[in-house]
Amino acid sequence: MSAAAASPHRAATQAGAEVLAAGGSAMDAAVAINAMLTVVYPHMCGLAGDLFLLYRDASDGRVWALNGSGPAPRLATREAFRERGLSGVPARGPLPVTVPGAVASWAAGLERFGRLPLDELLAPAARAAEEGIEVTDRMAGWIAHNAADLAADPVLRGRYLDGGGRPIAGGTMVRQPDVARALRRIMAGGADELYRGALADEIDEAFRAAGGLLRREDLAAFEPEWVEPVRHAHRGLEVLTTPPNSQGVTALMMLNALTVLEPGPPGTAGHVEALIAAKRFAFAERDRHVADPRFGAVPVDALLSTDRARAALAGGADPAPARSSAGDTVYLCTVDGDGNACSLIESIYYGFGSCFVAGETGLLFHNRGHYFSLDDAHANRLEPGKRPLHTLMASMALEDGELRLVFGCMGADGQAQTTVQMLERYLAGGGVADVVSLPRILHGRFVPEDDPDALTIEAPFGDEVIGALRERGHEPVVVGEHDERLGHAHAIELRPDGTLDAASDPRSDGAAIVLD
């Protein structure tokens, strides 16, 4: 059987392809890709981020899920934020930082499904950080967009702004020796170096000095969790995704709603309207019920009831607008020569996360705690040791028990919406190139300043469809073909004849590689 990899940056996909060519497993390749992405796509992921993944073990066909999202520090109480005069968890700085789960998750995944050592898989990323990377035009756009926040951190200011405080341009070479040192420390000491070693001590010291809440004890207590994926039958496929505190169930609720609504084919005005209605229903349900299941049961079976969707959609009135999220993420997928497959998503949440680098560690921390609520009655309320509701989700689809599609996307609230649109294109007969590249919509935010109820639609939908939506009372924001706000989607198809096809989204700087 051949092997394949896809990710949002060509250098990362190439790193994974080299691992696969050397006989590495799908998990090995996924870790190598993710590590490289922390260097070449630092605005969207990092060593101090979170991840979720699905892994299909070809030896028995079982699909495993790994929850690699970290909890709130033990000092992170709602009262602690209120005492600071805050009505919410801020977006930037040390306060929104929760325990980063990615590196521990790499180690957990490799322990169960890896063939190659962690140090070998991280070495290409460390070399790239030392030698320098070329900033892509897309990355330069994110630097410019976040320039004010980058300027607040001395490390980020020196790396991404020029001597006059202006954002660097695409084509600039950027070296990250501090990130290389962090990678090499993890290569030498394993994940324990970050969670229980000297690096953990330095992180503790940096957060204390900056008035943050993360401590060494929080890092030492963290372990990623192997869990069962959520499964849902839809039009001849069994769709699998990551369970709560991931928002994966949101996409499945949308699929349920589409079954009730019976829209026209993808690309039509009727289908767009159905997507919007399905999204409003599913996101309202998400915000009412989905949170860390360790702090209260999440009624997944009830949420996926077709009767529940039918009753809600028959009500006639749209639910209250969902609490929209914004975030930037990397999704990647791999399949090895034995048929093992990995669907992985990793993130530092906002562009450049918290914009807080912990001292001289080289670690840019995520700001995932910003998504917690300080409302005492909210399902996703902040509590010490609790994992926040995550927009991160990864997916697979099976047919008659056989894996057919490994897929996912970045884009915060857009993740569930794009997942549904990818599946709809696939079920309409599209190949993976169509699945990732055909025009899409987004309802809600991509970046924080977006209108949470806006409809963004790509121009290739055509004047007829866009005009019909306007006639029906919508006010679509029309963007060009392959606009990055519609997310980066990637996919690998496992065909019934045993061959593979893979595609990377043209909205990213990515590549897909199939090895024969």
Spatial contact of 150 and 158, defined as CB atoms under 8 Å apart? no
Question: What are the distances in angstroms from CA 199 to CA 99, 203, 362?
Answer: 14, 6, 10
- Spatial separation of the C-alpha atoms in residues 288 and 234, rounded to whole Å: 24
- Spatial separation of the C-alpha atoms in residues 428 and 95, rounded to whole Å: 46
CB-based burial label for 378 (10 Å; 0-12, 13-18, 19+): middle
Please list, in sequence order, all residues whose beta carbon lies within 8 angstroms of the beta carbon of residue 405, skipping any fewer than 6 positions away.
237, 396, 397, 423, 426, 432, 435, 491, 492, 493, 494
Spatial contact of 214 and 204, defined as CB atoms under 8 Å apart? yes
Using only the alpha carbons of the chain, give its radius of gyration: 21
- Spatial separation of the C-alpha atoms in residues 25 and 116, rounded to whole Å: 8
Q: Largest Cα–Cα distance in the chain?
A: 62
Q: Is 329 a catalytic residue?
A: yes
Spatial contact of 317 and 5, defined as CB atoms under 8 Å apart? no
Options 13, 241, 329, 334, the catalytic residue: 329
Tokens of 336: 């090895």
Expressed in angstroms, the distance from the first to the final Cα of the chain is 8
Tokens of 125: 């990323």
Spatial contact of 395 and 436, defined as CB atoms under 8 Å apart? no
- Inter-axis angle of helices 248-261 and 414-427, to 10 degrees? 50
- Spatial separation of the C-alpha atoms in residues 184 and 125, rounded to whole Å: 10
Question: What are the distances in angstroms from CA 229 to CA 79, 203, 278, 396, 484?
Answer: 34, 33, 22, 10, 29
Active site residues: 329
